[in-house]
């Protein structure tokens, strides 16, 4: 093999990596799914911390000053007015609360993993074109285009940010399953401790703490979490993954005090669906044809 041939062969793997990164960064699709996620995630942020950060609850000096900024940023991001600056401001505020109040000072409501997940998703939304659908920014852009006699801006944009959210979702499932892959969890002992905390004195306590049910439930959760991590990364078994995740997180929501976590995970499955399929489904729901014209 000549020197030139060896150099070309060595360059091929690097070229493939560069091409894959380029494809990842430049892949585009409909923005409707990520816009819906923006709205739902901001609502979850407000439901989770709105009462604690409301001015009547904000007794700590720092929170008194940050409270109005939080609601201004969250409100603007929710309706999609100056979406990117609003999301950036909200990200900074959530980071201050999570790392400062949660990690540094140990405030329980800010230290949970679901707090981190909400912070991560809001951070990633800064890089997503979530202002191009279901926003005041979109409405203003459509009005400007109409005044100029131009077509409305396309509801399309790069998808790399939502791909990173799916990667984080898969990582969360995988490492949670790894943590649970030990005998005390698989035999139901750890789940029994959780149920003792959640169900002490409850009429269903005796049923829920049956040893066989605890072991079967614990083992099933670990298997499901490994499966969902694989399905999200591989992009396979989408219908099955959707159905299983729906049952899993509704079960968590119903049986345990993990409402924010469960709701967040279910919302993020909008990004696992094909963006074009979500776009078409919304068109069909609203009675629009393939050309975007209202059905007669």
pLDDT digits (tens, 9 = 90+) for 268-294: 999 999 999 999 999 999 887 644 443
Q: What integer is the mean pLDDT of 41-57?
A: 90
* Percent with pLDDT over 70 in the chain: 89
- Largest Cα separation within the chain, whole Å, is 79
Statement: residue 222 has pLDDT above 80 = yes
Going by pLDDT thresholds of 50, 70 and 90, the confidence category of residue 68 is very high
pLDDT digits (tens, 9 = 90+) for 172-207: 999 999 999 999 999 999 999 988 888 988 898 899
pLDDT at 293: 40
Going by pLDDT thresholds of 50, 70 and 90, the confidence category of residue 236 is confident
> How many whole angstroms separate alpha carbon 173 and alpha carbon 229?
5
pLDDT digits (tens, 9 = 90+) for 103-138: 877 777 777 778 899 999 999 999 999 999 999 999
Residue scoring higher pLDDT (3 or 116):
116
Statement: residue 147 has pLDDT above 50 = yes
Domain ranges of the chain: 11-285
Structure tokens at 178: 């790894």
Statement: residue 21 has pLDDT above 60 = yes
Going by pLDDT thresholds of 50, 70 and 90, the confidence category of residue 295 is very low
Q: What integer is the mean pLDDT of 11-39?
A: 79
Mean pLDDT of the chain: 88
């Amino acid at each position: 093999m000549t020197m030139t041939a060896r150099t070309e062969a060595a360059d091929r793997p690097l070229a493939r990596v560069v091409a894959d990164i380029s494809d990842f960064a430049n892949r585009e699709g409909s923005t409707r799914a990520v816009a819906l996620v923006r709205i739902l995630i901001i609502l979850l942020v407000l439901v989770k911390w709105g009462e604690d950060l409301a001015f009547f609850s904000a007794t700590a000096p720092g929170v008194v000053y940050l409270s109005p900024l939080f609601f201004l940023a969250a409100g603007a991001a929710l309706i999609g007015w100056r979406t990117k600056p609003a999301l950036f401001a909200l990200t900074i505020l959530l980071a201050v609360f999570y790392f400062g109040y949660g990690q540094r000072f140990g405030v329980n409501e800010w230290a949970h993993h679901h707090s981190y997940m909400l912070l991560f998703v809001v951070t990633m939304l800064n890089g997503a074109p979530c202002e191009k659908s279901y926003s005041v920014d979109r409405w203003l852009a459509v009005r400007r285009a109409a005044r100029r006699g131009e077509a409305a801006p396309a509801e399309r944009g790069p998808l790399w940010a939502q791909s990173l959210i799916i990667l984080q979702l898969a990582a969360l499932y995988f490492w949670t399953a790894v943590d649970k892959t030990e005998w005390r969890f698989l035999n139901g002992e750890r789940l029994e401790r959780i149920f003792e905390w959640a169900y002490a004195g409850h009429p269903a306590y005796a049923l829920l703490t049956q040893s066989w049910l605890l072991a079967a439930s614990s083992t099933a959760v670990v298997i499901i979490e490994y499966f969902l991590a694989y399905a999200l990364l591989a992009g396979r078994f989408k219908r099955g993954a959707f159905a299983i995740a729906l049952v899993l997180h509704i079960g968590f929501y119903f049986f345990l005090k993990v409402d924010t976590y469960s709701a967040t995970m279910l919302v993020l499955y909008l990004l696992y669906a094909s963006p074009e399929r979500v776009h078409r489904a919304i068109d069909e729901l609203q009675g629009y044809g393939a050309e975007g014209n209202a059905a007669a």
